[in-house]
Structure 1
Amino acid sequence: MTTSKYAQISQLAVSFAAPQVLLVEFNKPHKINAVDAKTWRDYARIFAIASTDPDVNAIVVAGQGERGFCAGLDLKDTEGFNEISGQATEPSRKAIKSRAHIREFQEAIKSAYDCPKPVIGVAHGISIGLAMDILTNVDIRLAAADTKFSVREIAIGMAADIGTLQQLPRLVGSHSWVREIVFTGRFFGADEALKQGLVSYVYPTAAAAKEAAIKLATQLAQYSPVGLQGAKESLNYAAEHTLEDGLKQIAAYNSFALQTDFYEGISATLEKRKARYEKL
Structure 2
Amino acid sequence: MSEWKAFTVEIADHVARVTLIGPGKGNAMGPDFWRELPEVFGELDADPQVRAVVLTGSGKHFSFGLDLASMAGTLAPVLADGAKAAPRTEFLKEIRRMQAAVTAVAECTKPVIAAVSGWCVGGGLDLIAAADIRLAAADAKFSLREAKVAIVADIGSLQRLPAIIGEGHLRELAYTAKDIDAARAERIGLVNEVFADQDAVVAAAHAMAGQIAVNPPLVVQGIKDVLEQRTSPAVTEGLRYVSAWNAAFLPSTDLTEAIQAVFEKREPQFKGE
The two structures share one fold, judged by TM-score above 0.5: yes
Question: 1:273 maps to which residue?
Answer: none
Q: Determine the structure 2 residue equivalent to 1:167.
A: 160
**Cα displacement (A) at 1:52:** 1.1
1:212 pairs with 2:208: no
Amino acid in structure 1 at the alignment position of 2:160 = Q
Amino acid at match of 1:92: A
Residue 99 of structure 1 pairs with residue 92 of structure 2: yes
Question: 4+ residue runs of structure 1 moved beyond 6 angstroms?
Answer: none
State, as a whole percentage, how many aligned pairs show the same letter: 34
Q: 1:6 aligns with which of 2, 7, 10?
A: 2
User: Deviations 1:109-149 (Å, cap 9, x if unpaired)?
Assistant: 11110011100001111111101100100000000011110
Q: CA separation of 1:90/1:127 partners in 2, compared to 1, >3 Å: closer, same or farther?
A: closer
Match status 1:202 vs 2:194: yes
1:158 aligns with 2:156: no
The answer to whether the Cα contact below 8 Å between 1:84 and 1:101 also exists between their aligned partners in 2 is: no
Question: What is the one-letter code of the residue matched to 1:99?
Answer: L
> Are residues 1:238 and 2:230 paired?
yes
Q: TM-score, normalised by structure 1?
A: 0.79
Matched, 1:26 2:24: no
Aligned-residue RMSD, C-alpha: 2.2
Q: How many angstroms apart in 2 are the aligned matches of 1:79 and 1:180?
A: 28
Gaps of 5+ in 1: 243-280
1:40-77 residue CA offsets vs partner (Å, 9 max, x unmatched): 211110011111111111001000102x1000000111
User: Is the aligned partner of 1:52 residue 2:53?
Assistant: no
Report the 3-state secondary structure (helix = DSSP H, G, I; strand = E; otherwise coil) of the residue aligned with 1:179: helix
Name the TM-score, length of structure 2 as normaliser: 0.80
**In 1: Cα distance, 2:199 partner to 2:135 partner:** 12
CA separation of 1:73 and 1:240: change in aligned 2, threshold 3 A? closer
Q: What is the CA distance between 1:79 and its match in structure 2?
A: 6.6
**Can you list the C-alpha shifts for 1:187-226, whole angstroms capped at 9, x where unaligned?**
0011111111111000010110001001111111111111
C-alpha displacement at 1:239, in angstroms? 2.8
How many equivalent pairs are there?
234
Cα deviation per residue 1:162-191 (whole Å; 9 max; x = unaligned)? Answer: 000000111123x22210111010000111
* Cα deviation digits, residues 222-244 of structure 1 (max 9, x gap): 111110110000000123479xx
Bigger relative contact order, structure 1 or 2 (CA pairs below 8 A, ≥6 apart) = 2
Q: Which amino acid aligns with 1:11?
A: A
3-state SS of 2:69 partner: coil
Q: Unaligned stretches of 5+ in structure 2?
A: 235-273
What secondary structure sits across from 1:32 in the alignment? Answer: helix
